[in-house]
């Protein structure tokens, strides 16, 4: 049994949508809640320990990297900076067998927030609809 509270306006929208989708029956809210939770669980990734450690290392050294290595490719593994390279080719060849995860980053690269996934790309079924 899950209990919690959400803003009144959001609850009204959720109930209205659930009724439209699943009908005005007793189980409609539960079905909609299950589908919503499945979607939320699928939205993001949980990182393994080594991934987490490499990402924390990146965050801690990001400013320094931007000052020193603009346009270069840096390799982070084992929670530390491993090497810096002029080309992606060189960066991809570094000590591949030693680690289960590495970050390869071109310093100065700007993040892309959202990508359209294609005309026919589908996701797996997220629950009862």
Partner 1 sequence: MEDENKACWQYLNSGGIKFPILSLLVISPIETQSSQEIFVRIDTGYDGFLLLSEEKYRRMGFYLSELPREYWPEGETVTGEVFRLRRAWTIVEIPKLNIRIEGHVDTFRGNTDDLAGLKLIENLKLLLDGPAQTACIIF
59 contacts partner 1 (rule: CB under 8 A): yes
Residue 74 CB, shortest distance to partner 1, in Å, is 10
Please state, in angstroms and as integers, the Cα–Cα distance from residue 51 to each residue in 11, 56, 74, 102, following that order: 36, 9, 16, 8
Which of 1-9, 10-18, 22-30, 120-128 is the region at the interface with partner 1 (rule: CB under 8 A)? 120-128
Give the orientation angle of helix 8-22 with respect to helix 28-43, to 10 degrees: 110
Please state, in angstroms and as integers, the Cα–Cα distance from residue 36 to each residue in 42, 60, 100, 115, 125, following that order: 10, 35, 33, 22, 12
Structure tokens at 74: 């840096």
The span from the CA of 97 to the CA of 89, in Å, is 16
71 contacts partner 1 (rule: CB under 8 A): no
Q: How many residues make contact with partner 1 (CB under 8 A)?
A: 40
Which of 1-9, 12-20, 21-29, 54-62 is the region at the interface with partner 1 (rule: CB under 8 A)? 54-62
Q: Which residue, 37 or 88, is less far from partner 1 as judged by CB?
A: 88
Pick from 4, 7, 71, 97 the residue near partner 1 by CB under 8 A: 97
Distance of CA 125 to the CA centre of its chain: 19
Residues that bind partner 1 (CB under 8 A): 39, 42-45, 47, 51, 55, 58-59, 88-89, 91-93, 96-97, 99-106, 109, 111-124
């Amino acid at each position: 049994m899950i209990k919690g509270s959400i803003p009144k306006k959001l609850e009204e929208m959720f109930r209205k949508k659930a009724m439209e989708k699943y009908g005005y029956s007793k189980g409609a809210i539960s079905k909609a809640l299950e589908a919503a939770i499945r979607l939320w669980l699928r939205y993001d990734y949980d990182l393994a320990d080594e991934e987490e450690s490499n990402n924390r290392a990146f965050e801690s050294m990001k400013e320094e990297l931007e000052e020193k290595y603009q346009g270069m490719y840096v390799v982070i593994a084992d929670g530390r900076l491993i090497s810096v390279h002029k080309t992606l080719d060189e960066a991809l060849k570094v000590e591949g067998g030693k680690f289960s995860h590495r970050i390869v980053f071109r310093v100065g690269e700007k993040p892309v927030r959202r990508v359209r996934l294609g005309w026919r790309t589908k996701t797996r079924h997220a629950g009862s609809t």
